[in-house]
Structure 1
Amino acid sequence: MSDQPHPAAPPATGPTPGAVTVRPRRIAVYAAIGAAAVILVGVFVALKLRGSDTGVYFRTSDAVAMAGLGLLFAGGIMLTARPRLRADAHGLRVRNIVGERFVPWPVIERISFPEGAVWAQLELADDEVMSVMAIQSMDKERAVVALREVRALYDHHAPPQTRRQRTPVPAEDPNRPLGRLEIIDREKAAQGGGRKRRR
């Protein structure tokens, strides 16, 4: 017997949201600058070792090893820019610094950005919480837009019975970017409560 498909989401009004791809921007810029600086330092030290007159003999292999260490450290720094989130009609493909995982919409109960958090979270069935490092608070307005787009897809495709009721959070200064993320949680909770009362 073939595997049964996931339950289809109920029809939604309005146009169907398109696929969304999210990558962090600021951390990628900082990582690129840091990686370039480490490589330059590694190459500089390697060249200085070859021209050193301290009486200690450094072979070419020593200089190459020093430059290689610089490249290795730079690669480690660039891992912080690896996170990516892809959302479509089937679910979310979440890639953090290490590993990548596909999460179908029926498994997701909530897409949240807790107060004071560094990045977004998925609240899954069985009380599992998964970090979404592609949506980061340091990206400010981009993070707000990304969270709205992903939640629009979630509202369109996720079965209603899988959605967890959100607890409203206190209103924050609308001029504070991270506060706007928290306000989205509050507004979504209010909308959910209104729909429930109208039934």
Structure 2
Amino acid sequence: MAEQTETATPAAVVIRPHLVRIIGFTLAPILFLAFASAGIFMRATYTGAHFRISDQVAMVIVGVLLAAGALVLTRPRLIIDADGVDVRGFVARKRLSWQEILGVSFPDKAYFAKLDLPHDEHYPAVAIQSWDGPRAVKAIRVLRERYAAAHAE
């Protein structure tokens, strides 16, 4: 009986930005608490304006919306696997196979890395951000290694 050998496929790697996530997770509760407390206490003292319950509710809703906006900063992510890259930005998400990707670059003075596509197009890899410093260097090296491994086959 012939023995089958399996080639080990590398596990998926998840890359997320560091500094922007800290900012988003710190800013969201601060914004919510500030607007919620302002909404709760806006009728407690007389300021010359006549606030109603609807004004208080609206202030809390504004706090929720601003906190949700701060949490959008925490969304960017790359999932790199043997088949390609799943790129999630602040709003959009796209799956790119290794065959679609012509290169991986991080131009000087750019904020994000980018995946080079055919016809002089590129897709931003927002999860790899320049202000993360050494973490960004490590992340771009992992992405480039996976790209090189996929194109070597």
Pick the TM interval, shorter chain: 0.7 to 0.9
The one-letter code sitting in structure 2 at the alignment partner of 1:63 is Q
More off after superposition, 79-88 vs 37-46: 37-46
Gaps of 5+ in 2: 1-7
Within 5 Å, which residues of 2 pair with 1:86-165? Answer: 86-158=79-151
2:71 & 2:48 partners in 1: Cα distance? 37
Please report how far the alpha carbon of residue 16 of structure 1 lies from its aligned counterpart in structure 2 after TM superposition: 5.3
1:77 to 70, 73, 84: 70
Deviations for 1:29-61, whole angstroms, at most 9, x for unmatched residues?
A: 011222222112202211231213235332222
Which letter maps to 1:60? I
Q: Provide TM-score, normalisation by structure 2.
A: 0.88
Cα deviation 1:96-139 (Å, max 9, x = unaligned): 01110001101111100001111100111111111100001111
Give the Cα–Cα distance (whole angstroms) in 2 for the partners of residues 31 and 54 of structure 1: 33
CA distance in 2, matches of 1:152, 1:16: 14
**Alignment deviations for residues 77-109 of structure 1 (CA, whole Å, 9 cap, x no partner):** 211111000010100110001110001101111
Counterpart CA distance in 2 for 1:131 and 1:90 is 19
2:130–2:136 Cα contact (<8 Å) kept: yes
How many pairs are equivalent? 147
User: Which runs of at least 4 in structure 1 moved beyond 6 Å after TM superposition?
Assistant: none
Counterpart of 2:14 (choices 12, 21, 26) is: 21
C-alpha distance in 1, partners of 2:140/2:131? Answer: 13
Q: Normalising by structure 1, what TM-score?
A: 0.69
Letter in 2 for 1:152: E
Q: CA RMSD in A?
A: 1.8
Q: Distance in 2 between matches of 1:16 and 1:139?
A: 29
Greater helix content:
1
Q: Is the 8 A contact 1:22 1:86 kept in 2?
A: yes
SS in 2 for 1:126: coil
Q: Is the partner of 1:107 in helix, strand or coil?
A: coil
Structure with higher strand content: 2
Q: Does 1:62 align with 2:55?
A: yes
